[in-house]
Structure 1
Amino acid sequence: MTRMHNPPHPGEVLREYLGDLTITNLATRLGVGRVTLQRIVNGAAGISVDMAYRLGAAFGTSPEMWAGMQLQYDLYQASKVKRPKIERIATIVS
């Protein structure tokens, strides 16, 4: 999987999928709380594996698409964090 430069939070993409649906209506259809869905759409929470399956079923997409967007976003955000230098470990291939 290639890393995107500054990928959007999956909630931004979900907002586009909403169309005329309200957060409350979609939350009811997904069987989740409105606040839970609102936090995702606002970028305050990530998409869990369970939510990826729910969104995939609701929109006719794959759960991998939603989980992949979340992973790309998380990896990019983590790449901006300063970390200590870690020495590479040589592995033995038999």
Structure 2
Amino acid sequence: MSRDPNRCPTHPGALLREDVIPATGKSKAEIARMLGVSRQHLHDLLAERKPVSPEVAVRVGKLFGTAPLFWIRMQGAYDAWHASREVDVSAIPTLSAAPETSATA
């Protein structure tokens, strides 16, 4: 099954908020303390106002037993989807790579 390209990818904060953190039975304040981030930082992440940085991805990955790259890829997909809709690239041409030629002396 392929993903609908018109549907925004899930922000990693939404996954943490809706599924991961509730499954632990721990409070958000406790999760923030274990991650070594402020409660406000975690709140902003869960509210999808902040991205998952590589540093936070490492912390989240360690705490929940996942690969940091999972969180980074999730954030990257979310960011790229939004950028592709917000950045005007109409004036930028598309280049194709020139075929490789042999250099002669």
Residue type of the partner of 1:25?
A: E
Residue type of the partner of 2:20?
A: Y
SS at match of 1:80: helix
Displacement of 1:84 in angstroms is: 3.8
With a CA cutoff of 8 Å and minimum separation of 6, indicate the structure with the bigger relative contact order.
Answer: 1
Q: Counterparts of 1:88 and 1:45 in 2: how far apart (Å)? A: 32
Matched, 1:30 2:35: yes
Q: Tell me the residue number matched to 2:45.
A: 40
| TM-score normalized by the length of structure 1 | 0.88
- Once the two structures are superposed, residues 8-53 of structure 1 have per-residue CA deviations (whole angstroms, 9 ceiling, x without a partner) of 1110101111022211100100111110010000001000000000
Q: Counterparts of 1:13 and 1:62 in 2: how far apart (Å)? A: 15
Q: Tell me the residue number matched to 1:74.
A: 79
Identify which of 97, 101, 104 aligns with 1:91: 97
RMSD: 1.8
Residue type of the partner of 2:15?
A: V
What residue ranges of structure 2 are gaps of 5+ in the alignment? 101-105
Matched, 1:55 2:57: no
What residue ranges of structure 1 are gaps of 5+ in the alignment? none
Residue type of the partner of 2:8?
A: N
Q: Tell me the residue number matched to 1:17.
A: 20
Q: 1:64–1:82: structure 2 CA closer, same or farther, 3 Å change rule?
A: closer
- Once the two structures are superposed, residues 35-88 of structure 1 have per-residue CA deviations (whole angstroms, 9 ceiling, x without a partner) of 001000000100000000000000000001100110010011111115042112
